[in-house]
């Protein structure tokens, strides 16, 4: 059945109507799950199991999968697509639903399903951020092809590897950053023994900055773990926009990533008082500034600023670098990074802290003429 009014930017948009879905469900249950032992096996395995038709619609799920959805019965699940059932933030962007947005081009689950429909087995990883909670999950997806009496089906086994990825990422990032900072500290200490009297003062200043960075790296990891576990406490206090920007500029200028790079505060930035958690908001904006500095060539300048927009207040950071589209599609995903394997918590933590704890939102725009600008929008009440 075709739906010409539905537009897709990736996988086919069309679906079977409910009457065909009911027939497929009945057929699969009759011919493929008629043995009680098979049904017990499907519901005993720790994995989430789905069976999809060739329009990527669910016609069977095991009890474990139903338990992680917001649905009470399997009858409510049938006919929907996996991303819709898991409440993926991209699943409702297009009217055609899961698999049809430009973001879906980077989704391992959709890729694996399409491979299976074409008759091939596949294994992929899939990162999902839920619309309402902002919860990020990482799944390993196994798909295979099943030819039934009158239809072709995709068998899909899903393993939640979020904890594995989280632990590995936290360990890798923590040890990577701490080792870099400690190596620099050791180098400075060694240089102090041989330093001439006139250079000792600058080395002492560098040592102080590096020690602050070590503490900051440890604190950042502690905060992220607390945020993901819903243990981060919010301390609402009155703050001033320009005071905050000046302080954050000074903090970032001490970071090694700012060497031979400059930070300008937009002179048109509005100066007002507002209510927020200073520690959490500072962490968010500092992360954005550091990312902008890393993307900026030496002798380059980034701009930061603030403006009032109706009932929102907006902090922004702009640099001249353009983010390629394939990278833009994966920004904010938990385990994605352009910095190498097991990185990828920077933009994820920015969104997590802003949306879950500051009741705000983070957006960005990137093109070759503008460069890249990230915006943190927070609610403002007079």
**Could you report the per-residue pLDDT of 96-139, keeping only the tens digit for each?**
999 999 999 999 999 999 999 999 999 999 989 888 777 778 99
Given a cut of 50, the residues of the chain with pLDDT beneath it are 1-3, 335-344
DSSP state of 198: G
Q: Does one domain contain both 193 and 262?
A: no
CATH of the domain at 26: 3.30.450.20
Give residue 126's domain range: 18-160
Closest CA to 319 of 244, 255, 252, 264: 264
The Cα–Cα gap between 154 and 145 comes to: 5
The Cα–Cα gap between 353 and 320 comes to: 25
pLDDT at 349: 78
SS3 264: strand
CATH of the domain at 330: 3.30.565.10
CB atoms closer than 10 angstroms to residue 330? 18
Cβ-contact 148, 135 below 8 angstroms: no
Q: Does one domain contain both 224 and 284?
A: no
Percent of the chain with pLDDT over 90: 49
pLDDT at 333: 61
Closest CA to 183 of 154, 217, 156, 149: 217
pLDDT at 351: 84
Is position 252 within any domain?
A: yes
The Cα–Cα gap between 100 and 110 comes to: 9
pLDDT at 205: 75
The Cα–Cα gap between 330 and 334 comes to: 9
pLDDT in tens, 195-211: 777 777 777 777 777 77
Number of separate domains in the chain: 3
- Single out the residue in 176, 198, 232 at which a domain terminates: 232
pLDDT at 58: 97
Q: Does one domain contain both 177 and 148?
A: no
Q: What is the dihedral of CA 112, 116, 117, 120, to 10 degrees?
A: 130
Structure tokens, 45: 């395995």
pLDDT at 172: 65
The Cα–Cα gap between 283 and 223 comes to: 9
pLDDT at 1: 47
């Amino acid at each position: 059945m075709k739906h010409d009014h539905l537009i897709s930017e990736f996988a086919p948009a069309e679906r079977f109507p409910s009457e065909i879905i009911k027939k497929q469900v009945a057929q699969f249950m009759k011919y493929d799950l008629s043995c009680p032992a098979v049904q017990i096996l499907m519901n005993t395995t720790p994995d989430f199991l789905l069976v999809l038709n060739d329009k990527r619609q669910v016609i069977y799920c095991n009890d474990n999968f139903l338990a992680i959805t917001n649905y009470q019965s399997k009858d409510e699940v049938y006919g929907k697509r996996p991303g819709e059932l898991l409440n993926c933030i991209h699943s409702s962007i297009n009217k055609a639903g899961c698999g049809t947005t430009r973001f879906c081009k980077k989704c391992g689950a959709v890729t694996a399903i399409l491979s299976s429909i074409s008759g091939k087995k596949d294994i992929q990883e899939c990162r999902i951020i839920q619309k309402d909670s902002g919860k990020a999950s990482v799944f390993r997806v196994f798909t295979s092809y099943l030819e039934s009496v009158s239809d072709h089906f995709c068998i899909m086994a899903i393993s939640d590897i979020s904890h594995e990825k989280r632990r590995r990422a936290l360990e890798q990032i923590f040890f990577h950053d701490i080792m870099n900072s400690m190596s620099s500290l050791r180098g400075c200490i060694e240089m102090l023994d041989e330093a001439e009297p006139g250079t000792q003062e600058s080395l002492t200043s560098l040592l102080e900055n590096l020690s602050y960075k070590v503490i900051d790296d440890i604190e950042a990891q502690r905060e992220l773990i607390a945020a993901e576990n819903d243990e981060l406490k919010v301390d609402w206090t009155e703050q001033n926009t320009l005071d905050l920007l000046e302080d954050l500029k000074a903090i970032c200028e001490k970071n090694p990533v700012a060497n031979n790079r400059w930070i300008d505060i937009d002179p048109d930035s509005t100066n007002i008082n507002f209510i927020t958690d200073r520690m959490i908001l500072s962490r968010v904006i500092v992360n954005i500034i550091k990312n902008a500095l890393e993307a900026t060539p030496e002798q380059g300048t980034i701009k930061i600023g603030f403006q009032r927009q109706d009932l929102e207040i907006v902090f922004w950071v702009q640099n001249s670098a353009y983010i390629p589209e394939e990278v833009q599609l994966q920004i904010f995903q938990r385990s994605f990074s352009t910095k190498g394997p097991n990185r990828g918590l920077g933009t994820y933590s920015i969104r997590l802290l802003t949306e879950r704890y500051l009741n705000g939102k983070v957006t960005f725009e990137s093109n070759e003429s503008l460069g890249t600008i990230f915006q943190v929008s927070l609610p403002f009440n007079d």
